[in-house]
A and B are shown apart, each in its own frame.
Chain A
Amino acid sequence: MGQFVQYLINGVISGGILALIALGIVSVFKATKVVNFAHGHLILFGAYFYFTFAVMLPEAAFMPDWVRSWEPEWLVAYRADAPSFSPKAAIASWISDVPRILLGLAGALAANALLALLIERLVMRPLLGQSTFAMILSTVGLIWVLEGSAGLIWTAEAEQVPSLGPNFPIRFELFGANLFLFSGSLFNLLIALALFAALMLVLRYTRSGVAIRATAEDQSTAYAMGINVPRVFSSAWLIASTTGAVAGAILATRTGLSPAIGLFGLSVLAVVLMGGLDSFAGVLLASMLIGVLQAMTQWKLGGEYAEIVPYVAVLIVILIRPHGFLGQEEIERI
């Protein structure tokens, strides 16, 4: 039982991150009807940008020392009596990292946003009105362009990046078993869920949210109603790239920097289809389910099996419910 709860917790944490990634795919689909196969590679860029602005840039000679490591006197005093590996020490070392974490996040968000605007403008816009097939393939083409570019730009070996939140082990007892998790993971989960919730609220209650939903319903009618449809497209890509940048930063702290992050995005695509492409709630549900299923598979069968869980699951779901848990079925009129 204790083991079960332990893996359940692990599953929920990775489910939250899946949901954050899925968010980007769903927003772009809702607004533009394009399913972005390259979203994982957008995240890969987010991760590398975070690395660039949080690790490489602070170490440059022209940067002031406090960016690299912020050591105000009160922090030194606070740290002085903290035993190593204690929560207190972890918080202290996190505080001294805060400047570069913020720099990293700001840089990653801005750079990824710019990248997404470029993609939207140069690749997706010219293909407007083309078949689903062309849309899918163009994002597949993007996979290669992005992967190759990343390989050209960041040749450095994978390095440690600072965790977004203070990272110390938390131990507690439940059902008579010793459980264990990192505060950093908990922090990541909270960020993911907060972003997810914030976006849902924006879509529901703001003017631009309504514009996005209207465009999702019917592009040409939205146009006729005076909605700036191209701007809606751009904002959807902005949402995807910025949430993707945060997801990238989180993944970089969890699994390290590697091109495998891009491939991870494809498994999220499977999760999105399971939940239903146009349903945020369905996707959240599917993310949590897959997160937990993967954790359980890892526990019982090993990590290799866990990797193909989303792919097996999506095949089963498609055969039973073609449009996912909560997706809307398209009705063909004859």
Chain B
Amino acid sequence: MITGHYKTRYTADEGIWSTWPKQAGLVAALVALAVLPLIANNYVLLLAGQIAIFIIAVVGLNVLVGYTGLMSLGHGAFFAIGAYTTVAVHHEFPNTFPLITLLISIAVAAAFGVLFGLPSLRVKGLYLAVATLSANFIVLFLIRQEWLAEWTGGVSGTETPNAVLFGYELRSQRAQYYFIVPIMLIMLLFAQNLFRTRFGRALIAIRDKDYSAEILGISLYSHKLKSFAISAAYCGAAGCLWAYFFPAILPEDFGLNMSITLVVCLVAGGMGRTLGPVFGTVLILLVPEILKIVFANVTDGDANAQMLFSPMRDIAFGVLIIGFLIFEPMGLVSIWDRFWRFVDRWPFSK
């Protein structure tokens, strides 16, 4: 029997931070995020920025895969579209305000999302997985083309601009961090709100039983396409921030490997849950770093052994994804749920 938390109004019952331990946890998390740059070194901040950007993309993937139940193995393409849009905007208008660029990247990615989403009106599951994977290959192929090279840099990639906010150029990892993390938090909150209101509920309904959703007046066509658009928009935003964050990009950065990494983050964290992408991304992006440290210690920096690092990382990823599917199919979030149930029932929990 769950104890405590009695509410007297429906609005209180609809809230997200409904209990005081949760509110305390939220405040603690925000404070930790705010002070991290003051105590962390550049290596940690580089990693943190990368994780924050990836979280945005995985939240986007979650909209499509986790909530709408449509499979995609091609979200790296939207990431690429966001990043290259940013480069192209700055190529044409060097002094564009970063948030404007962000919005343009989001809009362009969303438009491509609708285009990619067209097959979803005819097919589901596996067919859609292959269709999106194909679309990913095609987008990268186009980016490599000579006739787009003025904006994309073609096969050899391109340097990317830095964000300039009110005359202040965001060069250091620390400055970038304070630019990226608030955007991530807003986008996370937006997704959370989306799925406790009408529109998001409709997407979940389509995932669970599409014909039943239709009978409730939910148009499958428009909702599937909108889901693709939102999902792509998140990845486009991530791509834009990626372009600002790193000094250069290559078409290969956004290939199948990235698309699958996004899916792995989602599965590890937990699909169809707001915090799933957060946990999953943190875990998956930390694994190679931990491996790297362990490896360096074990091998004492032996160059021959270093060659084995990349295959080892691949195997670790593969084993993680299969392990999660077999042993914890709901992802890390289900561990998190167990923790909060424990807190809620304390001191009667065991």
Contacts and interface: CB of A to CB of B under 8 A. Distances in A.
A319 B325 contact: no
A126 B322 CA distance: 10
A314 B311 contact: no
A237 to B, nearest CB: 16
Given A308-B141, A312-B134, A319-B118, A266 B256 contact: yes
Interface string A125-163: 011001011101110111111111111100100000000
B67 to A, nearest CB: 13
B119 A138 contact: no
Given A130-B325, A134-B329, A273 B211 contact: no
A144 B325 contact: no
A311 interface: yes
A147 B322 contact: no
A143 B318 contact: yes
B315 A132 contact: no
Nearest to B315: A148
A148 B311 contact: yes
Contact of A318 (B127, B311, B322, B326): B127
Interface string A246-274: 00000000000000000100100110010
Interface of B is mostly: helix
A331 interface: no
B112 to A, nearest CB: 14
B130 A269 contact: yes
Interface in B297-349: 307-308, 310-322, 325-326, 329
A315 B318 contact: no
B135 interface: yes
Given A140-B73, A152-B312, A132 B122 contact: no
A322 B127 contact: yes
Given A266-B256, A314-B131, A314-B134, A145 B122 contact: no
B247 interface: no
B235 interface: no
Contacts of A312: 134, 138
Given A134-B329, A138-B325, A314-B131, A144 B317 contact: yes
A60 interface: no
B321 A138 contact: yes
A315 B119 contact: yes
A171 to B, nearest CB: 35
A149 B135 CA distance: 28
A123 interface: yes
A218 interface: no
Contact of A132 (B125, B256, B264, B316): B125
A304 to B, nearest CB: 8
B315 A273 contact: no
A145 B119 contact: no
B137 interface: yes
A138 B133 contact: no
B314 A145 contact: yes
A311 B137 CA distance: 7
A311 B141 CA distance: 11
B43 to A, nearest CB: 25
A141 B315 contact: no
A35 interface: yes
A319 to B, nearest CB: 6
A73 interface: no
A312 B119 CA distance: 13
B322 A142 contact: yes
Interface in A96-146: 123, 126-127, 130, 132-134, 136-138, 140-146
Contact of A142 (B73, B313, B318, B329): B318
B232 interface: no
A141 B318 contact: yes
Contacts of B164: none
A63 interface: no
A137 B261 CA distance: 11
A219 to B, nearest CB: 17
Given A137-B321, A318-B127, A127 B326 contact: yes
A86 B145 CA distance: 43
Interface string B113-147: 00000110011011101110111011001001000
A144 B317 CA distance: 7
A224 interface: no
A141 B325 contact: yes
A319 B122 CA distance: 7
B184 interface: no
Contacts of B310: 148, 151
Contacts of B325: 127, 130, 134, 137-138, 141
17 contacts: A35-B126, A123-B326, A130-B325, A130-B329, A134-B329, A136-B129, A137-B263, A138-B325, A138-B326, A140-B73, A141-B319, A144-B315, A148-B310, A148-B316, A151-B310, A311-B133, A318-B122
Q: Pick the 5 closest A-B CB pairs, nearest first.
A: A148-B314, A151-B311, A144-B318, A145-B318, A311-B134
Given A273-B130, A319-B119, 6 more contacts: A137-B321, A138-B326, A140-B263, A145-B315, A315-B135, A319-B118
